[in-house]
Chain A
Amino acid sequence: MSNIKTTTETTHKIYSLPLLIGIWVALVFFTVFTTWIGGSGVFVISTIMLVIMANIFFKSYLIIDFFMGLQQVAFIWRFLMIFYIIFVCSGIVLAYFL
């Protein structure tokens, strides 16, 4: 029996470079969009607030799942991070709409 330890046994699945770059493009797009919508004055403030919160959540999800690689580990880690984002975003929304 071979003693050779393959990388698949010890590390995460290798994300392809096009996938990582595609996620980066999405993150940059949403960053520019956030800045634009914040200064546009086109929408009412409550709409801007909710769009930006959704934006924060989606960007955080991409970072957590793909850059951090938590998509590939036990669910509890991903849950803790997503719970953190939901907790913070909910608190901010609550403070703004009180």
Chain B
Amino acid sequence: MTNIKRKAPPGDFAIWIFIFAELSVFAIFFLAYAFARYNNVEMFNEYQATLDKTAGMINTIALLTSSLFVAMAVHFMQKNEIKKTTFYLYLSIVMGFIFLVVKSYEYSHIFGEGISLSTNLFYMFYISLTFFHFMHVLLGMIILLAVAVKNQQGAYSSSNMAGLETGASYWHMVDLVWVILFPLVYIIK
């Protein structure tokens, strides 16, 4: 089997414009967090210690696993195995749901203690950054669900899988952002 190097990235070109726009917004958030911490190192370290690192790690693994399932869905679509593609797309949605459940548990814990955006600068960044990402996970799951349903209806094949690749690219972007966000907010002191 010969492999011809494709010039265009996977999926629709428009999704890559969207992905870079989203990544730029997250980059501003990350750098704002890092430089805000520079002026409040002790306060950031004190409140960072209150975060549940295990929950953060579980969520990272959930998203990485979800990304693996999406990559496997693309793998099976390339082989025209429609049912396996659909199966792995649904599995990736389940992993995304686990992420949302764990994150909601974390939110319920901190909101239950009366912590809000106005509590201090650390929590302002923590809540806004993670909630912004939370909404992206939710949107990604809706996109994957739409792709899975369309796939079940026979919309995609190995020679027509731009829609699937578009959804997959967006989901990998969501994963990539969390790979930076988790150590930055939960781990680095």
Contacts and interface: CB of A to CB of B under 8 A. Distances in A.
Interface of A: 5, 7-15, 17, 20-21, 23-24, 27-28, 31-32, 34-35, 38-39, 45, 48-49, 52, 55-56, 59-60, 63-64, 66-70, 72-74, 77, 80, 84-85, 87-89, 91-92, 94-96, 98
Interface in B23-45: 23, 27, 30-31, 34-35, 37-38
Nearest to B67: A67
Contacts of B1: 8
A31 B65 contact: no
A96 B31 contact: no
A7 B16 CA distance: 22
Interface stretch (B56-64, B96-104, B109-117, B120-128): B56-64
A69 B37 CA distance: 35
Interface in B143-189: 158-159, 161, 169, 172, 175-176, 179-180, 182-184, 186-189
B20 interface: yes
A14 B79 contact: yes
10 contacts: A8-B4, A9-B4, A34-B182, A38-B53, A39-B187, A45-B189, A63-B176, A74-B5, A91-B34, A92-B30
* Secondary structure class of chain A's binding surface, majority of residues: helix
A84 B37 contact: no
Main secondary structure of the interface of B (DSSP, over half): helix
A34 B71 contact: no
A8 B3 contact: yes
B172 A96 contact: no
A61 to B, nearest CB: 10
A27 B80 CA distance: 28
B94 interface: no
Contact of B78 (A7, A63, A87): A7
Contact of B172 (A14, A49, A67): A67
B72 A17 contact: yes
B188 A96 contact: yes
